[in-house]
Amino acid sequence: MKIFIPTNRHHILNEIHPEIRENAIIKDGTNVKCYSAMINECLAECADEDIIVICADRMRPKGEEDLFRMINLINEGYGFVGLYRFGFYALHMDAVRRVGPLDERYIKGTYEDGDYMRRFMEADIAFYEAEDIRVVDILSNFNPSNTQLAINHFKNKWDHIDGTCIRLLKEEKYNYNFGEDSGKVFLPWDRSVVFKHSENFKNFKFKDMSK
């Protein structure tokens, strides 16, 4: 397992629980083009690992207590476990190998989380999301000044009609090496734990109409 803290605000890292901070790799996000690219770089450093953990610099998990909770849920069969959305989360690398890297066409850092959840549905891998971690009230490093480009890309890529999630665009190809699939068996998508407003989404069918 590897833990990453992506940041360009090193002055606030001491506020993160030492059981997380002192075992983490600090990933400097100063010059990356977007959040997805930075996380893909972290994933590529885990080709020989089973689990990767990402802790945003404004997350305040309770050290090993929250870390082990995520790991236990991953071991139960969830491919993605977010104790605070895409702020403090764990991924099993076999899920990454099957779903693929994050989409780097999302500018800065918005909409890539909803995109990745739909791709877990496409791959029939269970997804777990919550808001159980305290968050410092500061903006994300990756909030764009204008979200319209990301919104447009999301709408061009996905549609939702009559209980069906429809893929309209294929994934871009990137040259990341995430290692060999170890054969992990995941819970199916319909066993996902999602926010109340997304409950109906668990029962959606999936259709690929990508060009």
Residue 207, pLDDT score: 95
- Does 49 or 108 have the greater pLDDT score? 49
Both tokens of residue 85? 């959305």
Nearest residue to 56 (alpha-carbon basis) of 86, 94, 22: 86
Query: What value does the mean pLDDT of the chain take?
Result: 93
For residue 141, pLDDT over 90 is answered with: no
Ranges 1-10, 42-51, 131-140, 191-200, most confident: 42-51
The pLDDT score that the predictor gives to residue 9 is 85
Task: Evaluate whether 162 touches 204 at the Cβ level (below 8 Å).
Answer: no
Q: What is the token pair recorded at 34?
A: 């977007």
Sheet holding 158-161, edge to edge: 158-161, 164-167, 205-208
Give the separation between CA 27 and CA 8, rounded to whole angstroms: 8
Predicted local confidence at residue 114, as pLDDT: 93
Q: Is the pLDDT of residue 190 over 70?
A: yes
Cβ proximity of 158 and 165 under 8 Å: yes
Which pTM value belongs to this model?
0.94
Lowest mean pLDDT among 56-70, 140-154, 173-187: 140-154
pLDDT tier, 143 (very low <50, low <70, confident <90, very high otherwise)? low
Q: What is the pLDDT of residues 86-130, one digit of tens each?
A: 999 999 999 999 999 999 999 877 899 999 999 999 999 999 999
Residues 11-41: pLDDT tens digits?
889 999 999 999 999 998 888 888 999 999 9
Dist CA 110 CA 66 (whole Å): 25
Contact predicate 3/55, CB 8 Å? yes
Task: Report the pLDDT value the prediction gives residue 100, as an integer from 0 to 100.
Answer: 97
Q: How many angstroms separate the CA atoms of 42 and 52, rounded?
A: 8
Residue 51 is predicted with a pLDDT of 98
145 pLDDT band, cuts 50/70/90, is low
Q: What is the mean pLDDT of residues 136-163?
A: 84
Whole-number percent of the chain with pLDDT over 70: 97
Q: Looking at residues 167-189, what average pLDDT do you find?
A: 97
For residues 99 and 181, what is the distance between their CA atoms, to the nearest angstrom? 11
Neighbours of 148 (CB within 10 A): 9
CA 211 – CA 197 distance, rounded (Å): 30
Decide: 82 and 130 in contact? Cβ < 8 Å: yes
